[in-house]
Amino acid sequence: MAVIKVPPPPVDRNVFFQVAGYFAEIMKGMRLTLGIFFRQLLRMEKTNTLEWPEQPADYGDRFKGKHFLTLRDDGKIRCTACFLCATACPADCIHIEASEHSDSRIEKFPVRFEIDILRCVFCGMCEEACPVDAIRLGPEYAMAGLAGDKWVYTKDYLAQRQELVGGVESIKAESAKHIDTGADKRRSYLRHGVH
């Protein structure tokens, strides 16, 4: 059997000096890391790490967290049950049941409005689709829970949960949202007519 002889690679005696540059860079990096580590350890510098949940985190106004339903000035639910959010929803997690409202000016409202939060992908398309600004994704982000918890948010929970009171600044006053053009005050005589 033929044996192919492979010559051994030449020994480079200057290998340490060739990679010495890397060690220098590592030391530079460690200087920064350890510098911050010790400065923060000795409280010479503010740390960016939050001790959540003792310390609250703020994700800003545009965060798309837990949904809520907005209310009219008189406390009635703003949603008109038009199903546009349910239509736009890619996760098919919004379930609405519409009915006739006793107030003829409102006409249609949801008797049931449920979000299956486990299916929700927080894309915000419901918020975008809503023609009356009735559904929003709020700043609440802590949604962990146990198996026994209610994972289907009901209408009451979405509109009136404790955490919402004073917690959502972005709900504008009705007057600020619909600029008064005088149209509401102008009543057609027909409104008071025979009909």
Partner 1 sequence: MSIAITINDKEYQGQAGQTVMEIAKANDIYIPHFCWHPGLSVAGVCRFCMVAVEGRPKLEIACNLPLAEGMKIYTANAEVEEAHKWALEFHLINHPLDCPICDQAGECGLQDYYMEVGKYPSQMQADKVLKPKALDVGTDLVLDTERCILCSRCVRFEEEVTKTSALGIFDRGDRSIIGTYKDKKIDHNYTTNLVDICPVGAFTSKDFRFQKRVWFTEEVNSICPGCSTGCAVELAFNRKLQRYYRVKPRASEVNGQWMCNFGRTVYKHLNVEKRLLTSQVWDEAKGKQQALATSQVLAQLAAKLAVAQKIGVLVACQYTNEEYRSLFSYFAKLNASFWQWRSDSEDRTAFDGILMRGDRNANSGGFEGELQKLDLQSSGGFADFCANSFDVAIVLAPELPNTFANIELQLQKLQALPFVSMWSCASVMLAYSYQQLVAMRVFTEKQGSFTNYDGRVQPLPQTMAALNQNCVDVSAAVALLQVSAHDDQVSNHDSQQGA
The site for partner 1 (CB under 8 A) is made up of 80-84, 87, 98-100, 104-105, 107-108, 131-132, 181-183, 186-188, 190-191, 193-195
Identity of the residue, 17 or 189, whose beta carbon is nearer to partner 1 in the bound complex? 189
CB of 63 to partner 1, least distance (A): 27
CB of 162 to partner 1, least distance (A): 29
Least Å from the CB of residue 112 to partner 1: 12
- 84: enclosing H helix or E strand: helix 84-88
Chain length of the chain: 195
Nearer Cβ to partner 1 (47/87): 87
For 50, other C-beta atoms within 10 Å of its C-beta total 11
User: Least distance to partner 1 from the beta carbon of 36, Å?
Assistant: 54
For residue 152, give the 3-state DSSP assignment: strand
Q: How many whole angstroms separate alpha carbon 63 and alpha carbon 139?
A: 6
CB of 69 to partner 1, least distance (A): 15
**Widest CA span in the chain:** 116
Q: Please say which residue, 100 or 163, places its beta carbon nearer to partner 1.
A: 100
Instruction: Find the helix or strand (DSSP H, E) in which 116 lies.
Output: strand 108-116
* Alpha-carbon span 33 to 57, nearest angstrom: 25
Looking at the Cβ atoms of 62 and 105, the one nearer to partner 1 is 105
Helices H / strands E in the chain, number of each: 5, 5
- Nearer to partner 1 by Cβ, of 45 and 97: the residue is 97
